[in-house]
Amino acid sequence: MDFEKTILCIGAGYVGGPTMAMIAAKCPHYKLVVVDVDKEKIRAWNSDNLPIYEPGLDELVRETRNKNLFFSPEIEKGIRESEIIFVSVNTPTKTFGQGAGKAADLQYWEKTAREILASSTTSKIVVEKSTLPVRTASAMERILNENSKNIHFEVVSNPEFLAEGTAIRDLEFPDRVLVGSRETPEGIKARKEIVEIYANWVPREKIVESSVWSSELSKLVANAFLAQRISSINSISALCEKTEADIDEVAYAIGMDSRIGPKFLKASVGFGGSCFKKDILNLVYICESYGLEKVARYWESVVEINEWQESRFIQNMLRNMFNTVAGKRIALFGFAFKANTGDTRESPAIYIAHGLLEEHAKVVITDPKALENAKKNLSTFEDRVSFEQDPYRAAEGAHAIAVLTEWDLYKGLDYERILKTMVQPAFIFDGRNILDHQKLFNMGYNVIAIGKAPLKHF
Ligand code: NAD
Ligand code: UGA
């Protein structure tokens, strides 16, 4: 079959794989090729055991793979044969040199740009799908366009707003799609080409066009605003614990104000995930580099509150369990950074597990999808951590359960049965406020939740 366009995506991760699968499903007239340096990952994308868990993804890949969606390790060939290249490689926080701990590490991104240049024989549109510091496009243009091949690259920004666990729904019905470019005739032409792809299924009024700088910055700011709401409600959860106000009641009451809105007001043990912290710190670094100290400190406090919330959770566990957890078995219900994903990057559970292990607790971890990643995260503590697929077995002989991921599964467990197998007095620390606390208290548990008065039998 002849395809209208050949689109390449470099980076077959959480963003590249699902995004290209959605474009393939909605645009049978395009050929989509996804490449990655990680050959093992490409093999997994071509198998029945995809490298990431995401509801609806298996079906989407099954529907399109080897029809108009291809996963391949051949990066050079992919570059040569495509007209449009999406780049969705990782952009983690820099761990060395200037800006270490804050700035984005752009080595993978720059390497990809140089590979594109080396393998291209025709002009192309290069799409920034990764989250990048504002003004990256200008550096990219310089690398790509100072060539003697007589070819031209137009850099377009098209940040991704999907959330893990709901990626397929977010891609199919996005709140908006943002496409930014230079305001030159060539820039606007390239922008329109990218808009055309999404217009195959996204209503036009939801496709926003802007300058390339606004597009790059909007992605960082969207994540900063979302994380800020969580830190705001989490900061108030601490005040609720002192005053007997209930954080869920407060969130409900303020969320009914249409100017505030109800979403992203769920108090928790803290936000995790690969992006919120890294993107805010990147924003902080950018502000600092422009001398905007006050702005930098303002956004940095969002990350500080999050870290404080995580450490408060451990302190609450210790204080309530008679100031020691040494030698006590503690079951962590959930290790993924949120429900419906197996991803554990920056999961608060990693921090909580480390804290408890430092206090010499025996930690047992259960999670329906994230145990493999949890094992990698805690590999240095092999002797004192165990992993258990079945939550009932995880809780056997435990002094406490800490709910760290809001999996629906944990709401429906038989807690009467669990209580009988635990050491008394038994504790539940609900880091996600998903359980029926009064019911558990009536059964005999001591229940300590986020932003609520503790329910204790002593
Ligand atoms: P990921 O780590 O899951 O995937 C990135 C992939 O890029 C890896 O498989 C890696 O092997 C590959 N890669 C790196 N350098 C390469 C190179 N030179 N050539 C070919 N492949 C290369 O990362 P991700 O979660 O998909 O995130 C990618 C970008 O998208 C990041 O900038 C992130 O901030 C952004 N983002 C992520 C999400 C999310 O939910 N995970 C959502 C929106 C935006
Ligand atoms: C987030 C954004 O929601 C996406 O729009 C963005 O594209 C993505 O980051 C990214 O750039 O990587 P994601 O991290 O996958 O998506 O998941 P979220 O649903 O945003 O949850 C992030 C964290 O906040 C989770 O740990 C979650 O449990 C926590 N959270 C979320 C709360 O504690 N309370 C809430 O009310 C909402």
Starting from the CA of residue 174, give the closest ligand. Answer: 2
DSSP state of 331: E
Residues 159 and 232 both lie in one domain: no
What is the average pLDDT across 81-110? 94
- In a domain, residue 458? The reply is yes
Per-residue pLDDT reduced to its tens digit, 251-307: 999 999 999 999 999 999 999 999 999 999 999 999 999 999 999 999 999 999 999
What is the average pLDDT across 360-382? 95
**CA dist., res. 120 & res. 115, Å (int):** 8
- In a domain, residue 362? The reply is yes
Asked which of 372-386, 398-412, 427-441 is least confident by mean pLDDT, the reply is: 372-386
Residues 105 and 40 both lie in one domain: yes
Please confirm, yes or no, whether 275 is among the known catalytic residues. yes
pLDDT of residue 454: 97
Starting from the CA of residue 91, give the closest ligand. Answer: 1
pLDDT of residue 316: 97
- In a domain, residue 207? The reply is no
pLDDT of residue 383: 82
- In a domain, residue 218? The reply is yes
- Contact between 395 and 360 under an 8 Å Cβ cutoff? The reply is no
Domain end, chosen from 178, 202, 226, is at: 202
CATH number for the domain including 267?
3.40.50.720
State in Å: Cα 10 to ligand 1 middle: 9
- Indicate if the pLDDT at residue 1 is higher than 80: no
- Which protein residues are within 6 Å of ligand 2, measured from CB? 131, 160-164, 223, 226, 230, 264-266, 268, 271-273, 275-276, 337-338
pLDDT of residue 65: 98
Residues 440 and 377 both lie in one domain: yes
Residues 150 and 276 both lie in one domain: no
* pLDDT-based confidence at residue 441 (cuts at 50, 70, 90): very high
pLDDT of residue 397: 98
- In a domain, residue 396? The reply is yes
- In a domain, residue 48? The reply is yes
State in Å: Cα 271 to ligand 2 middle: 7
Domain end, chosen from 202, 232, 249, is at: 202
Which ranges constitute the DSSP H helices of 199-268? 212-243, 247-255
Q: Is the CB of 328 under 6 A from ligand 1?
A: no
142 residue type, one letter: R
- In a domain, residue 176? The reply is yes
Q: What is 383-449 written as a DSSP string?
A: GGEEE-S-HHHHHTT-SEEEE-S--GGGGSS-HHHHHHHSPSSPEEEETT--S-HHHHHHHT-EEEE
| C-alpha neighbours within 13 Å on the C-beta side of residue 29 | 4
Task: Tell me the sheet residues that pair with 327.
Answer: none
Number of domains in the chain: 2
Residues 269 and 143 both lie in one domain: no
* pLDDT-based confidence at residue 381 (cuts at 50, 70, 90): confident
Residues 284 and 427 both lie in one domain: yes
- Indicate if the pLDDT at residue 56 is higher than 90: yes
pLDDT of residue 147: 86
Q: Which of 9, 27, 240, 275 is catalytic?
A: 275
Domain end, chosen from 173, 202, 231, is at: 202
Task: Write out the residue range of the structural domain in which residue 29 sits.
Answer: 5-202
The mean pLDDT value of the chain amounts to 97
